[in-house]
Each structure stands twice: as C-alpha cells, then as structure tokens.
Amino acid sequence: MPAAILRILFITAKPEDQIQPDTDSELQAILETLRGTAFTAHYVFRATRERILEGLETQPDVVHFLGHGQADGLIIEDHDGVSTLIDAAWLVEVFTRCPSARVAVLNACESNKLALALVTSPHTAVRAALGWSAKMLERQVRQFVVDWYARLQGDTTTAHEAFGHARLAFEGDPAQVFFAERPPPLPPVDGSPFAPSNFSIAGIDRAVLTDLEVDEREQSLSTNERQIGVPGSTFFLAEQTDGSRIGVYVFRNVRIRPNASLRFEGTNAGALVAIEEMQIYGGVYAAVHEDGKSPGGFRAAGRARMLGGGLGAGTCATEVNAGAGGSYCGCGGAGASRQDGAMVPAGKPYGNPELVPLIGGSAGGGDESSGHSGGSGGGALQLVAFGRLHIGPYGYVGCGGGGGRYGGMSGSQQGNGGGSGGAVLIEAPVVEIRGIVAVNGGGGGASQTYGSGEDGRSSDGMATGGYHPDNDAPGGQGSGGAVVDGEDGRRASNAKASGGGGGAGRIRINTATGEAIITGTLSPALSTACTTLGKLVLIASVTPPR
C-alpha cells in the first residue's frame, strides 16, 4: 500500500518590533530535504491567533513554529503587526482542538517548557515535541531541524529515532536541545496482553463476565447506559480527551451468529470488548438510525439551524444551492447550484489514522427552507479482543453515513448532502477479515420530493444519490471502495439542484505484528489513506491463538 502522506503546518511570525528571523532560509532548507517524500505543506505567515486557528483546520500531523520565543511563551503578531505572546495554556487549548497533531516543533528560543506542556497535557494528542532550553543561533537551529526531517522519513512514529540522529550531528551544546515524548500508558494490572486505545479496562472483575452470543435476528446495545437484559457483562462510560465519551461493553467471548446482528444505538461512540475471542458471522454496526442519531457520529442540528454537524460538516443548502456532503477522511461532494453559480463546498477532512480519540462522521448540509436535513455522519465503533478477532465470510461491520433528504416541490427547495462514513477501530493480536468492514458515505438528496439519497453501503459499492422521475439530476454518490470522496451534486434541466455525496470515514486495524489476514472487503480500500494498519504495544508475552 502507498505510504501515508505526512501533513505539515509551518507557522512563521515576524513582528515589526522584533529582530526579523530568517524563516525563509529555514523553510527552503526543510522543503529541499523533504523532496521526494510523501508530504503536503500548509503555511501560516505573519501568524496571529486567528490565523493559527485557521491553519490548524488543515488537520496537520506536524506543527512547526518558526520565530522568536521566551521562557513564558512564543512571540507572534497582533493585528497591527506588533509582538504579542501566546503562553503554554493557550497552546494546550489550541492543540486540544486539533487531534491530528502528533508532533510539535517549536523552533524558538527557550521553548522547552512549552514543548513539555504539550506532551504532558491529558487533553492533547501530541506524542512528541521539540524545543530549545536556551537562546540559540539561527544557523544551528536550522541545521538541527533539517537533519531531523531527513531522518523522519515521512512517519511521525520515527520522531524519537530522528531526534537521536540529529542530536549526535548537532554542532552546538546537545544539552540545549530539548525533546519530550508522551509517557506510555501504564500497563494493565489484570494480565491483558495490551492496553486498548481510548479507554482502560483495568480493575474490571472478570469473574462476573460471561459470553455474549447473538443468535436472534437483531439485538441492540445502548452506548448511553447499560442495556437491561444483557447479563454477564460490564458497562462503563469512558471519557476521551476531546470531551466525548465511549460506551464500553466487556464480555468474556463474543459470537454473532449468521443472520443475526448487533446494533449500537445512542449518542456516544460504542466499544465491544472480548477478553478472550470475538467471532462475527453476522452483523455489527453503528450506523445512522431512522431518527438521525448515530453513536459517536454527528447529525444535522434541526430546523432552526440546518447546518450539518461535525468538524467536516457540509455547507447547508440555500434557495440557490443544494447542500454539500459531509467529510471525514474523504471529502464530501459539493452541492450543485440551480443558477450555474459556484458550487457549495464540502467541509474539510479531519481526524487521524489511529482513531484516537474515537469520533464518528459528519453530517451533510440541510435545506433551511424545507426543514429537511442532510444525512447524519456514520457512528464510531471500537472492537477489541485479547485473543483472536475473526469476521467470517458473511460477517460485516458497518458505520455508514446517512443519505441526504430530498428538497421539495418549490423551486427554492434544493437537495441535501449525504453524511460521511464513520469510524471502525479493530484491535486484537490476530485479526482475520473474510467478510466486510465498511464506513462509506451516504448519497446526496435530489431536489424533488421523495428523492432521498441511499445510506452508506455495507460493501465497497457507492451509495446512489436520490432520484425522482421528474428530475434528471440525481444526488451525488457516496464514497465506496477506492473512491474516498463523495460525488458532486448536479443541476437539473428544470433549474433544480441536488446535494453532494458523503466522503469516506476511517478504518484502523491494530495487531501484534502490524499485519492482518484480509481476504474480504474493506471500504475504503486498504490502498487508500483512509484505511490503515498499526502495531499493538504488547505488554504480556502472548502466543497468538491458532
């Protein structure tokens, strides 16, 4: 599969009342070093607080500050171009709103305490931060970060090794270079082979746990409170760093029989844990419910405020334009214009491949005049087994986005955007997928009555957009397979406009080796950046089951 693209945000500040730093030379040297690697760069020049917040909307993996600093903060500009200070508390709050940021490079004098604050705060996702413990020469600082990027090789998990190399090559005092890493999670005290992402099950009484076996047509679990009638389990709500919660159910073994399904419902993300094995021969899903709710996903906000919900929300429809599709990993499709004007843009992609924190998809834009909503974003689901996790040939796991609703008969009522796919995080020493795991976007709605888009499919197919016989412009298709972006809406010959399709969500599979046995279907496909594999940090000696 292709290498993941490293997203870097460069932030520079040159206040008029300060000595002007040579940030151009540093940028040029870094970009030259990165030539040939898979990366994208975004820039914030003449940084103010507002511009920094806008820059972080690009969801970078690495945030690199170039400029002046002092012991109590970084020096940026106010609206008049004069120096102002941003302290550690402000930086922590800002990085809390950017969960994609894994590495912070604070290339400024006396920035070591700021770097330490970012990796020790429980509210940020920053794993490693680089700073300086003294006032430095620009030439030395520039050469150090160039050497660091040269060894990073486009992967933030190599930040520690890259730092070690650059420190050895550093011509100045190595003690002045500061590198901090987030402390590893405390090992569980209950003999678990690894610590799950996003929550801990330490302290759970395993003696009370029994097996969950679903052999009826459908069974549901609430992510908001313990489900009555589900004995032999432990349920708790886990707080995440972004303020959201996960409803966690823990059993001994989990088995979903063919033709049976387990549906998660509620507003929180859902997690299902088996301390031994998990076998899925039927369905497990956290898709959009008929009332628009999805566990951990975002929904359109209602008639009074019909903007789609979530960080990747689609822009709402107007009398002229249809609603845009919701984005997550993939971009939603744009909403069409009934007057050949500019298309309504979709929201920006967000989140991170590791799905930490675990969040769902974003809603498509709705129609303010008709009161019809865009499709809700798909839910968020985490499946954990301390032994083998097996999805059989007829098994499926789905968190698809909802289809956008139709507009109406009035010429001022346009179609609505489809919701983006949600998130599925799978963690087990051994994972075998012979069935389907899908987090596809929903189709966009047509402008005519009863032309709603299809919900995201539990396959690698693309959800169809809404269609009405009196309208020759169906809504945009949702994502599917190797196509991670939703399709744009269309303009009909009768001057009506349809909504854009929803973009793809995210799939992450963590195993003991970093590899999984996959003979089934993943959608988005493993060849895309929206589905990734990771390696568990094993705590106990584990012999994978055969």
Task: Calculate what percentage of the chain has a pLDDT beyond 90.
Answer: 47
Name the nearest CA neighbour of 3 among 40, 46, 44.
40
Quote the tokens at residue 311.
């960080």
> Average pLDDT, stretch 504-529?
93
Cβ-proximal residues to 87 (8 Å cutoff; 6+ apart), any chain? 72, 73
Give exposure, 532-544, as e/b (b: 16+ Cβ within 10 Å).
Answer: bbbebeebeebee
The arithmetic mean of pLDDT across residues 220-245, rounded, is 81
* Distance in angstroms (rounded) separating the CA atoms of residues 295 and 534: 24
Q: Residue 544: its pLDDT value, please?
A: 40
Q: Backbone dihedral region of 369: left (phi > 0), alpha (psi from -120 to 50 degrees) or beta?
A: alpha
Is 524 among the domain residues?
no
> Above 60 in pLDDT, residue 196?
yes
d(CA 200, CA 495): 55
Here the CATH number for the domain that contains residue 64 is 3.40.50.1460
Is pTM beyond 0.75 here? Answer: no
Exposed, middle or buried, 192 (CB in 10 Å: 0-12/13-18/19+)?
A: buried
Q: Quick one: pLDDT band at residue 540, thresholds 50, 70, 90?
A: very low
Return d(Cα 501, Cα 505) in angstroms, integer: 13
Q: Report if residue 540 sits inside a domain.
A: no
pLDDT confidence of 368, banded at 50, 70, 90?
low
Q: Residue 217's pLDDT band (boundaries 50, 70, 90)?
A: confident
Helix (H, G, I), strand (E, B) or coil at 250: strand
* H/E stretch holding 71: none
pLDDT score of 362:
94
At 304 the pLDDT is 38
Count the neighbouring beta carbons within 10 Å of the beta carbon of residue 184: 9
Q: Is the pLDDT of residue 30 over 60?
A: yes
Q: What's the pLDDT at 29? A: 87
> How far is 157 from 182, CA to CA, in rounded Å?
12
In a domain, 149, yes or no: yes
Q: Of residues 212 and 230, which shows the higher confidence score?
A: 212
pLDDT, tens digit (0-9, with 9 covering 90-100), for 90-122: 999 899 888 889 999 998 888 988 998 898 887
Neighbours of 2 (CB within 10 A): 8
- Phi, psi (deg, nearest 5) at residue 161: -65, -40
Tokens of 293: 């709710």
Output 509 or 168, whichever has higher pLDDT. Answer: 509
Domain count, the chain: 1
DSSP for 118-172 reads HHH-TT----EEEEESS---HHHHHHHHHHHHHHHTT-GGGHHHHHHHHHHH-SS
- Closest residue by Cα to residue 423 from 445, 401, 391, 404: 401
For 133-141, what is the mean pLDDT?
Answer: 77
Q: Is residue 188 part of a domain?
A: no
Record the tokens describing residue 383, joined without a space: 């499946």
Long-range contacts of 345-348 (CB under 8 A, 24+ apart): 345/315, 346/312, 346/314, 346/315, 346/417, 346/486, 346/500, 346/503, 347/308, 347/310, 347/311, 347/312, 347/313, 347/314, 347/315, 348/57, 348/58, 348/59, 348/311, 348/312
Q: Is 157 exposed, middle or buried (0-12, 13-18, 19+ CB in 10 A)?
A: middle
Residues in the chain: 546
Specify the pLDDT at position 542: 40
pLDDT at 341 over 80: no
From the list 528, 531, 546, 269, the residue with the least C-alpha distance to 432 is: 546
Q: Can you tell me which residue has the tokens 């549906």? A: 263
pLDDT per residue over 270-311, tens digit each? 999 999 999 999 999 998 876 678 899 998 754 334 444 888
What does pLDDT average to over the chain?
86
Residues facing 238 on adjacent strands: 246
Phi, psi angles (nearest 5°) of residue 264: -90, 135
Q: What is the mean pLDDT of residues 79-85?
A: 93
pLDDT category at 2 given cuts 50, 70, 90 is very low
Q: What are phi and psi of 50, to 5 degrees?
A: -65, -40
Tell me, yes or no, whether 97 lies in a domain: yes
User: pLDDT for 452-464, tens place per residue?
Assistant: 899 999 999 999 9
pLDDT exceeds cutoff 80 at 319 = no
- Domain span at residue 167 reads 6-181
Asked if the structure places residue 134 within a domain, the reply is yes
- In whole angstroms, what is the distance from residue 533 CA to residue 514 CA? 6
Query: Among 374, 448, 361, 386, which Cα is nearest to 416's?
Result: 374
Structure confidence at residue 302 (pLDDT): 42
Q: What is the pLDDT of residue 481?
A: 96
Those residues whose C-beta lies under 8 Å from the C-beta of residue 491, and which sit 6 or more positions away, are 336, 337, 338, 340, 473, 497, 498
With respect to residue 53, please indicate whether it lies within any of the assigned structural domains. yes
**Residues in Cβ contact with 134 at an 8 Å cutoff, skipping those fewer than 6 apart:** 109, 110, 173, 176
Mean pLDDT of 192-196: 89
What's the pLDDT score for residue 51?
95
Angle of helix 112-120 relative to helix 88-96, nearest 10 degrees, comes to 40
Q: Which of 472, 124, 419 is nearest to 288 (CA)?
A: 419
Range 343-351 average pLDDT: 89
SS3 content of the chain, % helix, strand, coil (to 5): 15, 25, 60
Burial of 371 (0-12, 13-18, 19+ CB in 10 A): middle
Query: pLDDT at position 232, please?
Result: 63
